[in-house]
């Protein structure tokens, strides 16, 4: 009998700093040598995506298949949850069907957390509202460490719409756990002062930040921020925060450029940025599969360890 609740990955801090390093190590090992295809043979995994996703859903599905899980994918849309079935009822039903792991994406912050309270199995958050996207943060951390050989003491700038970014929030959690020094850059409407904290600085002037960082993460800017009055125009934003050839020149030669995707060419970055040798976008996406394999293995094994 298990006397500890099953572990989840709702956000990065559901694991300890040493477990976090362990996950990056494991994902790195998977990248070098593929694990046996029956690593998690027959484990029923449900991909439950309430919000459309191309890269994350594909990446999770591939990761699940590479470790031999039984994969079910379901995009509920207006499913039973929309018809008044409670979150708890859904969780109990899915467990009864036999699902052991739910990979869930939902437009509302907190949905995976609520689901995990009633689900007797593992919940992996594949992105909830503006709250968290822990596997994205993991793959970002893996990509950074690949490049720099370490994480502690690295200086990174995250630029753009921090307020609406679950990627930024999860990276903040993970980077603070591992001693990365974070500078957030953006206009005050998209980066409120409340984000400042221990190891987290706020800067409004991108040009002042660029020469001093080991890495820069550009976030996607959505046009709807103009309609909602948070930005005057893309042109004004571009003037202040776009990563372009002029600003590339201010960035250290040894720095790397990250983007969680999907990017908007000509908005937060230009074509030249994507072609720059310092850009790591393709490697990030590539690493995502291994990180997700490592997370699946970690959670399943955590359940079989006697408490």
State the residues that interact with another protein by CB under 8 A: 86-88, 108-111, 113-114, 117, 128-132, 163, 166, 169, 192, 194-195
In sequence order, the β-bridge partners of residue 102 are 46, 123
Burial of residue 244, with CB atoms counted within 10 A of its CB: 0-12 exposed, 13-18 middle, 19 or more buried? middle
Tokens of 9: 């990955």
Q: Are 216 and 157 in contact (CB under 8 A)?
A: yes
First-last CA distance in the chain: 9
Residue with smaller CB distance to another protein, 132 or 218: 132
Q: Are 54 and 285 in contact (CB under 8 A)?
A: no
Closest CB 148 distance from another protein, rounded Å: 27
Closest CB 165 distance from another protein, rounded Å: 9
Closest CB 114 distance from another protein, rounded Å: 6
Residue with smaller CB distance to another protein, 109 or 264: 109
Closest CB 238 distance from another protein, rounded Å: 26
In sequence order, the β-bridge partners of residue 104 are 48, 125
Crossing angle (nearest 10°) for helices 134-148 and 55-66:
80
Residue with smaller CB distance to another protein, 82 or 153: 82
Least Cα distance to 206 among 222, 224, 187 occurs for 187
Residue 123: DSSP 8-state = E
Closest CB 164 distance from another protein, rounded Å: 9
Closest CB 149 distance from another protein, rounded Å: 30
Residue with smaller CB distance to another protein, 200 or 234: 200
Least Cα distance to 157 among 187, 180, 134 occurs for 180
Residue with smaller CB distance to another protein, 22 or 129: 129
Q: How many angstroms separate the CA atoms of 288 and 31, rounded?
A: 10
Residue with smaller CB distance to another protein, 113 or 145: 113
């Amino acid at each position: 009998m298990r006397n500890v609740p099953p572990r989840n990955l709702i956000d990065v801090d559901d694991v300890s700093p040493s477990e976090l390093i362990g996950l990056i190590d494991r994902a790195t090992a998977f990248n070098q040598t593929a694990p046996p295809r029956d690593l998690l043979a027959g484990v029923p995994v449900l991909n439950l995506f309430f919000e459309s996703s191309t890269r994350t859903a594909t990446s999770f599905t591939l990761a699940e298949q590479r470790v031999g899980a039984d994969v079910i994918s379901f995009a509920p849309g207006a499913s039973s949850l929309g018809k008044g079935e409670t979150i708890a009822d859904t969780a109990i039903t899915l467990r009864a069907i036999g699902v052991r792991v739910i990979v869930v994406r939902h437009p509302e912050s907190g949905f995976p957390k609520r689901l995990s309270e009633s689900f007797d199995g593992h919940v992996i958050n594949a992105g909830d509202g503006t709250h968290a996207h822990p596997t994205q943060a993991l793959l970002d951390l893996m990509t950074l460490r690949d490049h720099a050989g370490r994480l502690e003491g690295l200086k990174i700038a995250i630029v753009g719409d921090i307020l609406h970014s679950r990627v930024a929030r999860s990276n903040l959690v993970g980077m603070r756990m591992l001693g990365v020094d974070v500078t957030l850059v953006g206009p005050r409407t998209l980066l409120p002062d409340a984000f400042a904290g221990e190891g987290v600085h706020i800067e409004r002037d991108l040009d002042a930040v660029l020469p001093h960082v080991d890495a820069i993460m550009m976030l996607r800017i959505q046009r709807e921020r103009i309609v909602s009055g948070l930005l005057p125009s893309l042109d004004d934003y571009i003037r202040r925060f776009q990563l372009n050839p002029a600003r590339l020149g201010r960035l250290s030669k040894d720095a790397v450029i990250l983007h969680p995707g999907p990017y908007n060419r000509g908005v937060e970055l230009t074509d030249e940025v994507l072609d720059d040798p310092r850009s790591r976008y393709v490697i990030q996406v590539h690493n995502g599969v291994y990180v997700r394999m490592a997370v699946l293995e970690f959670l399943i094994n955590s359940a079989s360890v006697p408490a």
